[in-house]
Amino acid sequence: MIRVTNVHKKFKDLEVLRGVDLEVKDGEVISILGPSGSGKTTLLRCINFLEKADEGEMEIGDRKYSLKYATKKQKLEVQRKTAMVFQLNNLFANKTVLENVTIGLTVVQKMNKADARRVAVRYLEKVGLGDRLSSYPAQLSGGQQQRVGIARALALNPSVILFDEPTSALDPELVGEVLSVIRQVAEEHITMVIVTHEMAFARDISDKVVFMDGGVVVESGTPEDIFLNPQKERTVQFLQRFR
């Protein structure tokens, strides 16, 4: 289980996170919704130590971390347990699809090359790219590149995968294939936190939906709670835009 408490983050005078709590149980899929600028991406980046929070604690399983004071060793430990899938995947342009997935396994996890290849192929097959192992990222569509990013995250066997708007940079016709891969991953009860603007997808896939606005969690609940019976005016207004 992952529990994040009281996350605060400012960029200069801009208070982006104002005391956010988040709890994700093992195997749960949580979607974070909210208007642009509400702090969703920053929250994921603080959890993954890509940003240093000004305040906040995190528990992953029986381990506890300060989001502000964590040591380098603790940050590495967290980064091994959490895998990010970004808006546009930062794949290595000069490495093949296969190498993009094996590199984390051989370098970070010290796996030998043969094992890394076996694991990478398994996950690339899972995302439907078993026939593109020796392609380079530029030879793939945006949707295929995102699927490589998902395979790379899965291959690391993390405690949680953090998806940061995984389809928002894609052409509309490529969104479906990426969502369907994420859906397939969710069915395997892999713990996931997904920042998304895809409302129908979030409603369908999530065990819990969290609505953020202005750097706070405004409300959270089951998809039914949030989509059919929102309690807060701000949630109602936000959801109306997607009707």
Please report, as ranges, the residues that interact with ligand ADP according to CB under 6 A: 11, 14, 16, 34, 36-42
Length of the chain: 243
Q: Pick the closer one to ligand ADP by CB: 16 or 150.
A: 16
Amino acid at 42: T
Residue 14 C-beta: closest distance to ligand ADP, Å:
6
Distance between CA atoms of residues 67 and 48, nearest Å = 9
Q: Pick the closer one to ligand ADP by CB: 16 or 170.
A: 16
Residue 67 C-beta: closest distance to ligand ADP, Å:
15
Residue 105 C-beta: closest distance to ligand ADP, Å:
29
Collect all residues with Cβ–Cβ distance below 8 Å to 27 and sequence separation of at least 6. Answer: 189, 190, 191
Q: Pick the closer one to ligand ADP by CB: 18 or 122.
A: 18
Residue 157 C-beta: closest distance to ligand ADP, Å:
27
Q: Pick the closer one to ligand ADP by CB: 42 or 144.
A: 42
Residue 230 C-beta: closest distance to ligand ADP, Å:
18
Residue 38 C-beta: closest distance to ligand ADP, Å:
4
Question: Rounded to the nearest 5°, which phi and psi values hold at 132?
Answer: -120, 25
Kindly give the residue spans of alpha helices, DSSP state H, lying in 141-240: 142-155, 172-186, 199-205, 223-228, 233-240
Residue 44 C-beta: closest distance to ligand ADP, Å:
8
C-alpha R_g of the chain: 18
Q: Pick the closer one to ligand ADP by CB: 84 or 121.
A: 84
Q: Pick the closer one to ligand ADP by CB: 56 or 137.
A: 56
The residues with which 211 forms a beta bridge, in sequence order, are 33, 219
State both tokens at 160: 């949680």
Question: Rounded to the nearest 5°, which phi and psi values hold at 72?
Answer: -60, -40
Distance between CA atoms of residues 127 and 134, nearest Å = 15
Q: Identify the three-state secondary structure at position 108.
A: helix
Q: Pick the closer one to ligand ADP by CB: 34 or 158.
A: 34
Neighbours of 111 (CB within 10 A): 18
